[in-house]
Amino acid sequence: MKRIAMLAVIQATLFGLGCQKHSLPKYTLVSDRPWPIGEARTCNFDGEYREGHCFPPTNLSGQKYKYLVDADFDRTVHYDAQKWSTDDITCRLDSFEHATCHVGGQ
């Protein structure tokens, strides 16, 4: 009887884990111009503040557009000692709430 009860608990736990909604981490993608949905841009990620800087490094002082999104990365992002990404990352804005990012090149 104890075995059946234990199996029922394990099965319920596994079933419950499989049904949980997977929540993606929030990132702020920052652009120097409005970002149309469906467009992909190269970004440098700041791991400390969870920001993707998706504009040329020469344009630091102009107007910026920020998009707070759930970001889905296809691979692990690697960071240096200053917490900046060392990978080539391209992100596509799928909606104003979600982005898909490719790590490792374009």
Longest Cα pair distance anywhere in the chain, in angstroms?
A: 70
Q: Which residues contact 10 (CB under 8 A, 6 or more apart)?
A: none
- At 6 the three-state DSSP class reads helix
Q: Angle at CA 24, nearest 5°, toward 76 and 43?
A: 55
pTM confidence score: 0.73
Place of tokens 């799928």: 94
What residue ranges do the domains of the chain occupy? 24-103
pLDDT in tens, the chain (106 residues): 555 444 444 454 444 444 444 456 799 999 999 999 999 999 999 999 999 999 988 888 889 999 999 999 999 999 999 999 999 999 999 999 999 999 984 4
